[in-house]
Every structure is written in structure tokens, then in C-alpha cells.
Amino acid sequence: MTSHSKSPQNFRNLGIGEVKSWSKIKSGIKGETPSAKFELTIFDEHTIRVQISPNDSFYPNPYSTVLSPKIISIRIEEERNQIWIKTSKIHLCVNLSPFFLTFQTPTGEIINQDDPAIAVSWLGTEVTNYKKIQKEERFIGLGEKTGNLDRSGRAYTNWNTDYFAYGVGDDPLYMSIPFYIGIHNQLAYGIFFDNTHKSVFNFGASNNRFVYYSADDGDMDYYFFHDDSVSKIISAYSGLTGKMEMPPLWSLGFQQCRYSYYPDSEVTTLAKTFRDKHMPADVIYLDIHHMEKYKVFTFDGEKFPDPKSLIRALKEKGFKVVVIMDPGIKTDIGYLPYDEGKEKDLFVKYPDGQIYEGQVWPGWCAFPDFTKPETRQWWAEKMAFYNDAGVDGYWTDMNEPASWGQFTPNLIDFSYEGEIVSHRKARNIYGFQMARSAMEGSLLQRPEERPFVLTRSGFSGIQRYAAAWTGDNVASEEHMMAGIRLVNSLGISGVAFAGYDVGGFAGEATKSLFARWMSIAVFSPLFRAHSMINSNDAEPWAFGEEVEEISRNYMKLRYRLLPTIYSSFYQSTTSGLPLAKSLAIDYPHDENIYLSAFQNQYLFCDKLLIAPVDSTKDITKVYLPEGDWYYMYNSQFHKGHQVIYQDCPLNYLPVYVNAGSILAIQSDVSHTGESNDGILYLHIYQGKEKSIHVHYEDDGISHDYKEGGFFKREIEWDSPAGKLTFKKPQGDFKSKFKKIKLFIHGDQKVDSARIGKSSLKPEFENIAFLGKLTEFDPLPEHDNPYYEIKGAASFTFEHSTDDFIIDFH
């Protein structure tokens, strides 16, 4: 077939036309039109792949997907001018003249439909799929995109961009994930446009006829998902693009970063201060000033004369060390990474073979071609430099790739697994493949441990290799809220392990802003503070005594919640669902959640409703969705599906516990490597429904969990029946908890409990999730509120590995 791009018609829109021929293939059909060839492949009951190309062959993205089509029962039926491809969940109608697609439910409801007249078409090399807008349709997801939860009425560009101090409505940013979910008429679907060129998603901006997604070049290659819930659609997408593996436990603790901490004595003081002030923390970062003239795979001999001893001392205090790695390799003859990369032909080049150079921190730099397997292997081997020094984790930055001038020439060549493509096709996956190289290098250098990689740039599938953070944000109330939406949107798009720079990278946070940001970030998957050079100190103790105490309280809460958080990470590795879950996932058809007043609210670990609020507010409106809820700090009960007014003093972020749920907590620790008191504290909340809490443990660092080295136990709470069932644990790992202490929350009085023939009498005590603030200012108008749960009933018993039931009376 001849490419349409050679036709003189390419100056106007060229439609796909009518189907001239078609035939069945193993998992679907294929065919041709005057303009293109197409294949429709059933990947699963809920997933269909659509491939359309004007060329003789398809040129798929080799990086994002990890699954092949399942062999399932499908029906292919031919009617007049139509072909129907049917699974148990999707009926796909292929109109033959002209070609356009309609996705329906088995009962005939339209889920999604091409605009029949223009369906798939080309403007030169640009390929576009136009879709009809369904009545009151909303759109969510698309990864790291600013703006409202509902994307309707806006257009977005996927082109990975280094954007310092971006605005809260600016686009594009650092990461591209071309996957969105459409919601309408009690239905939902997902579309993943698997094309790595610059792409545009237009959700009804500047027109009232269609939505569309387009790419500058390449195939129209997308996956269509439909199931009976948004969560199942996200799980299907995450299954296709790969789920994250269990991270090391230490990466879930508090992480402190600054551009930059130097010399080594400042790093030592930082670590000592955390411990002296009893502020739990696990990670310290070394930014670019740890290097000699900003050259990767070096330490500055003056600022860090003995990095091994420094890192050893930090480990003795319970800290892990993460170093920054930028891709730019300074083009200095005699600098070993440059000499090796040049000799081995590992750098990105111009078409005439000259090495491409761009300016970054070290000066003029060459850029490793991470789309080449040999380059990834070389980079992994070079990471021995950091491993030998004792480094634990890796932070891949500037990997869009960034360079001064922000205008990388499009003609440069990338290997792209042997295809040889230009920057136009390779840019969006460059950071993705650098993060892959860092992960593979971490495994190569320390195969017995789980890797931790944090990346700024990525593409669909990045969750397999790295956690993500939202780049160079700003110290402002608006950015604090925008970061929450960015993380929630990344979660909708398969990236469960994500966070933002607490306190803001650019600018300087006020006292109240930092305190509020710290309290919110406790309920973020990644909990990392970061600030910029030439700014005031921004550690949790740098904003005065009151903010220090508020920060300490919330940092301690984060560590006490780790049994719940770690178990939720495990759940995410199996389901692909996020820990920070936009309300649009569980309540997609509730109009209230899309209102600007409530769109920042989210569920954390499925049990906690977080209602972020500006630091300037003392009272706020909170929307409680369907169900019943308890105010976390005093167990005040609220019915759901209503708006309430909630006091929100600086020391109390509005947080609510879902009625009927189980919250697992441990005792205070100063870092994740420190032993707790051996008691698992289970807070069980009375409600109308049954719930199951999966308690998960492993050693937190090795890969043994993949071979049975874990402790997993289902705990079922049947609140209406007053029955708590502990099922027999699975796995070979011995629980770290010797005893269990239950706390009962709710109005229904509990006088006793029975385990088998043994009777338990409750103890009653006051409990607080946050400590009382010191009254630094004796004036009464400065009194800070303090909440306790008065007279909570508790029961303590041995943590048996047998299955058993507790009956409450």
C-alpha cells in the first residue's frame, strides 16, 4: 500500500474512506480502505485494540504495553454494511461505508462512537480520531495535567517539557500519559492512545461537535476499555501497561530534599536534627551540588571528600540516601563516561553521525540514547559508582530531556529498539527509558534489594520502573491544591506512587502554608519535601515552634499509619488502583464531586476521606459522599451524601474514616528500620456494611515476597452482626506484631467480646491521633483546639496465626 502522504490531497483533510476488503484474524478482523489498513484485535473481554495506518506496516510503541491478546470466545457477525465483533462486555460495530466504529454495551447502549463523517483522518502526517460527544459526558485522567478534575472544554498537549515554576493551568508539563476515562449515562470507558509522538487531546475546546485525539505522525493505535466500574477500567489499563512492584518500605517514610545540601557537614547536621527533634524521617537526597562540576557519576572532592563515610554515618542514624542523576554527559575528553559513550556509540546523534550536544548544568553535554539496549546496560553498569558509595535510591531529573533553550532539534536520531526514529517520536519516552535504566541498574548493582527510582519525566507504563513527582512547583496555596489534583490524576492513569514537593520548590512558603502542606502530604503516596537554592531554610523546624509541632504530629501520624499504607501499596501492586484515589473513581456519577469546591477531595487507602483546605481558612465546606463517615480526630459521626461545615484550624486537616472500615496502626518509630512495640492497633468503625481489610507484611526490602516471603491476612468486619473474623494468614513471613489491640468506634455500646470460649472485658481510654500543641502564646485567643476520642473501648489479645472470630456484645 502506498502512503497517503504522497497524495496531493494531503493539504486538506483526508478521511479513511470505505472498507474495500476485510477478513478474520485470530483475535478479530483486519481490512483495507483506499487510505489505510486497519486491524481490530480483542485483547480481553473488556479491551479492544484499534490499529490504523496509511503505511504498509504498523509501527507500534515497543515500550508501554506488557500483555498479548487473550484467547477468549468472541463472535463476529456480518450484517448489511456492518460487521459486529462481540465479547461479553463490548459489542463493537464496524460500519463499512464509510468506516467508523461504535462501541456498545451488550444491551445496546452506546458507550463511545466515532463521528461518522470524519472518524479517522489525516492532515499531512497528523492523524486524528474524532469522537461524538455523548450527553453530559465528562472526561478524567490524562496523567500529569493541570486544570479541573473534569477535563471537559479544554485541550491538552502531550510533549514532555521542562517547565520551571509552571502555572496551575499551564500545559504541557513533564510527563505524558495519553489515557483518559469518559463518563456518561451511568457508563464509563477508557481510551489509551499508544502513540509516542506529540499528541493533542481535545475534550470539546473551541467546538461543539466532537472530542478528538491526534498525533503529529505515526499510527492511530489505541486501546478501548469498558467495564462496569471506573476502578475496573483503571485495573485493565494498568494490567496492559504493567503494575508497579512493591517499593522498599523506607521509601514510604518522610523524604527530605533541597537544591542542595552541601557540604557533607550540613548533611550530617540535617540528619542529627531530625533525630534530636524526634521528627521521623527515612531519606535524605543529594542534589546536583554533590557532583564535581555537576558531572554525573562523580562526587565533589571538596564538598564531599569521603562520601562512603558520610553515607555510612547516615545509615547508622537510620537514613537512606538518594542521589540525583541527570542524563547530560559533559563532552570533556578524559571524562570517562563521555569517552566510553563516544567509543561505544551510545549517544544521540544527528543524521550525519555527529554527536548531538545540548547545554545543561555541566555545560555542553551529550545525551545517552536510552532507547538503545546497549546504552541502558552501560548506564546500569556505571551505577556501580554510586552503589559502591552506599547509595540506596536514584532520582532521575532533567530527563524530558531538558536543555537550555528548551528546543531540542527534531532531526536527531534515536535507536528506538532498532527502528531509528527522530526526536519527534522518541522525546516522550526518553525519560521513561532513563528511569528504566536506573531501575535496571539498581537491580544489577544490588540484586537482593528492591529499587527505588524517582522520575520527573515518563510515559504510559512508567509505573513499572519509578515513582513520579510533579516537578518544579511553587510555594502557593493554588499550587498546593493543584499538586493534589495532579497526583490524583496520575493515580487515575496508572501511576499509584506519586507526590509533589511539599512546601513548594520555587518561592518561599509562609508558616501556615507549610504546616497545611505537611498535613496534606501525610496522605500522599510519596511524602517528600523539597526547596530551591537561594531560598530560606524549609525543613519542618524552620518555620517556628508551632509549625514544628504541627509537622511533627503529622509526620508521626504518617509512621503510625504505615501498616495501612503498606498494605494498600500491596493492594495496588495487584489491582493497579491508586492509594490517593480521586472521588471520581468510586463515585463517578455524583455531580457534587466535580464542583470546584470539592474536586480536590480524595480517598486515601480506601478508608480515609481527605478534604484539603487552604491554610488561610478556619472553616470549610466538605462534601461527604455516599456512605457514613467519622471525623477522624474525635469520631463524630456524619451521614453521607451531604455538605457539612467543618472547622479546620491549622493543626487539624479535615479527615474522615469510612464507617464499617478497619484502620491499622502501629506505635511511634523514628524511621522504618526501627522496631515498633509489637502491637498492631486496629481501629474498627461501626457501620451498616461488611468490609474486608487485607493486612500485609513482608521484610520491606528484599524480593522474597515474590516467592511466598510475606504475611497476608484478611480481616472481615461485619459490623451489623458485631463479628470480626481473622482468616488464616497466607505466606511464610512471620508477622512483626505479637499482639493486637482493638479500638471500637461508634455509638453502639460494646460490653464484652468472645474469642471461642474465652471472654474479654473491654478497657476504656482516651485516644488521640495527634498530639496536643504547646501553648507558646499564653493569650487566650491563641488557644489551639485538641481532640480526643473519649472512653474508647479496647480489647487486647495475642496475635494468633489460627483463624478465629471475635463476637462483640
Positions marked active-site: 397, 400, 472
Please check whether residue 750 is in contact with residue 744, taking contact to mean a CB–CB distance below 8 angstroms: yes
* Beta-bridge partner residues of 620: 646
Q: At 25, list the grid cell.
A: 484474524
Strand order in the sheet with 14-15: 14-15, 120-123, 126-132, 210-215, 199-202, 155-158
Which DSSP category does 506 fall into?
Answer: B
Q: At 639, list the grid cell.
A: 451521614
Strands 528-529 and 642-647: unpaired
The whole-angstrom distance between residue 741's C-alpha and the CA centroid of its chain comes to 33
The whole-angstrom distance between residue 583's C-alpha and the CA centroid of its chain comes to 15
Cβ-based neighbours of 458, under 8 Å, separated by 6 or more: 160, 174, 175, 176, 177, 431, 432, 435, 466, 468, 495
Q: At 475, list the grid cell.
A: 510555594
Cα 235 to Cα 575: distance, rounded to the nearest angstrom: 6
Cα 17 to Cα 119: distance, rounded to the nearest angstrom: 9
Q: At 660, list the grid cell.
A: 464499617
Strands 47-53 and 75-79: unpaired
User: Which amino acid makes up residue 184?
Assistant: H
- What is the rounded (10 degree) CA torsion for 220, 226, 229, 231? -40
Cα 233 to Cα 121: distance, rounded to the nearest angstrom: 27
| Nearest alpha carbon to residue 557 among 633, 612, 613, 498 | 633
Cα 193 to Cα 220: distance, rounded to the nearest angstrom: 8
Cα 410 to Cα 130: distance, rounded to the nearest angstrom: 27
Taking 3-state DSSP, the helix, strand and coil percentages for the chain, each rounded to the nearest 5, stand at 20, 30, 50
Scanning the structure block, which residue is given the C-alpha cell 510533549?
A: 159
Q: At 694, list the grid cell.
A: 487485607
Cβ-based neighbours of 729, under 8 Å, separated by 6 or more: 711, 712, 713, 735, 801
| Nearest alpha carbon to residue 599 among 140, 185, 134 | 140
CB atoms within 10 A of CB 751: 9
Largest Cα–Cα distance in the chain?
Answer: 87
Cα 100 to Cα 116: distance, rounded to the nearest angstrom: 6
- Phi and psi (nearest 5°) for 33? -120, 175
Scanning the structure block, which residue is given the C-alpha cell 466515532?
A: 114
